[in-house]
Structure 1
Amino acid sequence: MPKYYGCPCEGCGQPLTLRDDIVVCPDCGAPYHRTCYEKLGRCIHSPAHAAGYEWKFPYQENELRTCPSCGERTLRSEEHCRCCGAKLPPEGAEQPNDRAEEEQNFDYASFYRQFEEGNVPDPLKEAYQAAFGKEEQMDGISCKDWNAYIGRSAPSYMTTYSRMELTHSKIAMSFSALLFGPFYFFYRKAWKPAFGFLFAELLLSAPYFIDMLQITGSSLSPGLSNSALLMLSRVCSFLGFLLMVLRGMYGKWLYRKSAAARIRRIQNEFPDAEQRRAVLSAQGGTSLAAVFGSLALLFVLGSAFTLLLGPNMQALLDIVSG
């Protein structure tokens, strides 16, 4: 479990929440609000550091329970979660042994319909309010407009964005963006990152294209030695791996920024709420056609590249077949 959320700040004694900027003493591990630590100028336990003092988690396991809104551990003796501020339901209202039966009987159609209508069920509503305020606005856009634009995946994305907002982080792992690259962004209609990552992938494939030009004896082939081409290939492979990792870590954040820009444009054009959400639903969501369109674009670019190859195509065919 997180070591500091819900614990009292060693400076002011107030609980450390998911929204706080937390700093930790590098010598003993005591947690503080950043403002408290800067005001004190040092750790209050610094006189004991030389003797080997180490801060210890102040609560026993039997004093804690899991908050259903944020998933963090908080004191069972309090009515509100010390981590996110959400009101805690009575203990025993949901028994762990009943989870499988509840999940089996859960009405997903009704759940998604509530999101489409903007009626976010608890405890998600409390989590959204903890993250985005009572108005439930993210990046200046209402929760209802976000739900209309994202579509059926809105519960998952909005929960992720709530966690990102509470932890002041832009990182949320997206395995779809990690594995499928630019096609993830085409699928989610995030055009700027889609074309940006597609261009980067093509650019990092330059050693492969140069090698094909040299093999076929093209007059456009740059005069690179084998050792220089090998070094360029290794550098591009490393950059490609780094790009893949960054894409997976920041994919959902990039989608959020792209979606917010499109939603704002639609809001300016359609001030009427009902009409606006109809347009958001039509222009948002996902698109398999965009994925197939990007594949067709790659096919056209590949065909155009073959026009640049030299006359010695047989050498290339021998390498491919052999």
Structure 2
Amino acid sequence: MLDYTHIKCPVCGDAFKEDDDIVVCPQCGAPYHRACYQEKGKCIFDDLHEAGKEWAPPAPPPPKVEPSAEIKDRECPACGTLNSHSALFCNRCGTSLLGAGQPDQKPPQAPPPFVSPAPPVSRNAYGGVVPPFSFDPMGGVSPAELLDEGISFGDASKFVRQNTTYYMPVFRYIKQTGRNKFSFSAFLFSGAWLLYRKQYKTGALVAGLMFCLYLAYLLATVFVSAPLLAELAGQVGMDITQGFSPTNEQMLAISQLVANDLTMYLKISLPLLCLLAMLVVMIVVGVRGNKMYMRHCVRQVRQIKEHGARGSDVSLTLEAKGGVNISIAVCMFVCYVLLVNVVPLLL
């Protein structure tokens, strides 16, 4: 007879004891407490009966192996602690035990700490050290580098003062290549930009020329081109009081009238020629503006340094004589607004 001790009853789940009243299913051999079997009235393993199989006791669980019972034969190469045979890392310091136990193997060395390289040291126009990641007023140009004979970029930056990060690299480019570098500020504002940068003689000349060209454009439009177009419109049957919106036939007739008289064509094109002349002046100033300003700075710095040899503070004089003239820029803006909005009303 089988020993059912410690096997659990399939109905109540309690383990059988030596003095329990146990009955066995005559078909499959499953054990029950007598009271449990009588409660169910039959064996509960119908699947075994249908398959013609016998009940088998469950396999006993494998014996647990305590970690402390495992052989400790893996010595940590760092701290010397003995660890279990299957351990991969030291349970004391965490060092890898792969390869432990090999007497000729040296413990792994930690990589040296990363030390970032020291940032480059740059100096401003006055010789002071510029901290890393700070604004460089010289735009990467060394203040000690010579711009012209006896004049350094540091001297030029003191005279320029505003926007040296743009002008110092531009001056160096012009000096090294001998080519101009286009200036959009000089192109857009022409004479006003020259006056703003204290190039008074050239600025007054260019500003006066631009004023005369614009005034010529207004006069040519009001007194020459517009009356002539009105006369031509009347000849082809247009009513200009309703606006200048000719049909294709009327435009063709006007074109034929103008083509037969070259003088009439020039009179109509006179305002456009004035605007074209203004554009040419703007392009010339834009192309040559930076080089003109560099020569102006060199000339002024040389004069200041020659007079400064008598004892005056050259640096303070450079800052006072250089820089920009904001008041004249405001004045030029007001004059431009009056010229564009008021003068056409007077004409």
TM-score, normalised relative to structure 2: 0.44
Larger helix percent: 1
